[in-house]
Amino acid sequence: MDVADRADAAEARAQAAGDGRAAGAPPAPPRPKRRGVELALLVGAVLISFCGYLAVGLARTHAVPAGALRYAAGLGGLALLAHLAVRFGAPYADPLLLPTGVLLNGLGLVLIFRLDLETPADHAAPAQLVWSTVGVALFIAVVAVLRDHRVLQRYAYGCAGLALALMVAPILFPAVNGARIWIRAAGFSLQPGEFAKVLITVFFAAYLAANREALADTGKAVWRLRLPAAQVLGPVVAIWLVSVGVLVLERDLGTSLLFFGVFVVLLYVATGRTGWIAVGVLLAAAGAAAVGTLEPHVHGRVQDWLHPFAGIAAGRGPGQLAQSLFAFAAGGTFGTGLGQGHSSLIGFARKSDFILATLGEELGLAGLSALFLLYALLAACGYRAALGLRDPFGSLLAVGLAVLPALQVFVIAGGVMGLIPLTGMAMPFLAQGGSSVVTNWIIVALLARITDRARGPWPDAPARQARAAPDALGAAR
């Protein structure tokens, strides 16, 4: 850490501690835990979801849907269990995290239940509820087992290896809709790429935390940009390149874009050098241009983004993006009301990539803004924890875990609303897809653990401890 950074960190800690004392003073009295607030918010989240469920049923059949109480009890039970896990396992965790996760998940279940009404032959909500349960179970497991996030540093390479293995696995399985991103076994289908996102983020954070100075200060200077030494940057770039290569092979461009974004951001945060942003943007632009011209699938997406109504003019009828825009426009300011829109016109992928269109149509701009703000809250929790922590790994991991959903939301929401070319990606917590829900619960669990550390009275590790930790990350010096 340079001097400025140290001062910054001290200042942040002082802010976090809520008093003006400088670092090194005796520890401040612990902050309030706010578990009661969390419980109250959880009750609210479950109630809102329950009301949504009722609204769908009342709008469609003028009767309370059959499974309403079961649904409310299920969601409430999950929320309560998660709350207990946090209360006893991470008492200082940010009280906003869990309610946000529960509300997003509950809304996702409501939307899928609502879309199931249009497709009687294909019900996705029950499976989604099962996956949500699995997700919450994993949340509890992570909070209970992982007592200190810094343990993860030791398994950085393990995480990287596991992530690569998970990403390579789908190549052995048949492609679905042109993308080889699924593993199918015993009636289940998994998207390992989803889990790989978290693992790779952990690896990036650990590696960059261990090699910050080396990355920032060594190596040759080219013009005004100081390049880090090759042996320092080598491993991480190699892993990153391999993962992106695999994803390109699998036609999973959305995830590769995400990896790239997280990598560049973490590199920037770790080194504090704006140059990385410039390099990243240039590389991204070059890569996007290359892929956009070479890959017909992507080229089509870009064309569709530029001319969403070309299909209508050509007499093929409106394409998916046009249908999605129609849905958003139909919602207007306040939406048509749950169950009263016609987003089923979008057809294929209405429950996954385009689920946001249903929300936009039926809850309108008001509901959409609220949803975006929920995601913003989630990310803000991560950033606040990153500012409050003293170990670089924790900070980087928190930033990575905050950027991950934020980028995902931007890419998919921007895609279905015509802001950027459409990239297939799951809306966190909302979209149909077990792997995605489970992964997002793991992210929330990690954030809970990190915020617990950031807000709690835990004795901070000495600043050098991360470096001295018995890990394999010390690069050759």
Residue 315's contacts (CB-CB under 8 Å, 6 or more residues apart) are none
Q: Closest approach of Cβ 66 to other proteins, in Å?
A: 21
**Torsion sign (Cα): 155, 159, 162, 164:** negative
Nearer to other proteins, 192 or 331 (CB): 331
Residue 177's contacts (CB-CB under 8 Å, 6 or more residues apart) are none
Q: Closest approach of Cβ 51 to other proteins, in Å?
A: 17
Nearer to other proteins, 166 or 412 (CB): 412
Q: Closest approach of Cβ 276 to other proteins, in Å?
A: 10
Nearer to other proteins, 142 or 427 (CB): 427
Q: Closest approach of Cβ 298 to other proteins, in Å?
A: 21
User: How many Cβ atoms sit within 10 Å of the Cβ of residue 146?
Assistant: 17
Nearer to other proteins, 118 or 295 (CB): 118
Cβ-contact 49, 58 below 8 angstroms: no
What is the spatial distance between Cα 25 and Cα 419, in angstroms, rounded to a whole number? Answer: 49
Q: Closest approach of Cβ 251 to other proteins, in Å?
A: 25
Q: Closest approach of Cβ 311 to other proteins, in Å?
A: 8
* Phi, psi at 179, each rounded to 5°: -120, 130
Nearer to other proteins, 158 or 311 (CB): 311
Q: Closest approach of Cβ 5 to other proteins, in Å?
A: 5
Nearer to other proteins, 87 or 342 (CB): 342
Cβ-contact 110, 338 below 8 angstroms: yes
Nearer to other proteins, 155 or 372 (CB): 372
Nearer to other proteins, 136 or 356 (CB): 356
Q: Closest approach of Cβ 370 to other proteins, in Å?
A: 11
**Torsion sign (Cα): 293, 294, 296, 298:** negative
Q: Closest approach of Cβ 372 to other proteins, in Å?
A: 6
Q: Residue 407 region, left (φ>0) first, then alpha (ψ -120 to 50), else beta?
A: alpha
Nearer to other proteins, 155 or 410 (CB): 410
Q: Closest approach of Cβ 180 to other proteins, in Å?
A: 29
Nearer to other proteins, 231 or 340 (CB): 340
Q: Which residues bind other proteins (CB under 8 A)?
A: 1, 5, 8-9, 11-12, 265, 268-270, 272, 309, 312, 317-318, 322, 325-326, 328-334, 336-337, 340, 342, 345, 360, 364-365, 368-369, 372-373, 375-376, 379-380, 383, 386-387, 392, 395, 399, 402-403, 406-407, 409-410, 413-414, 417-419
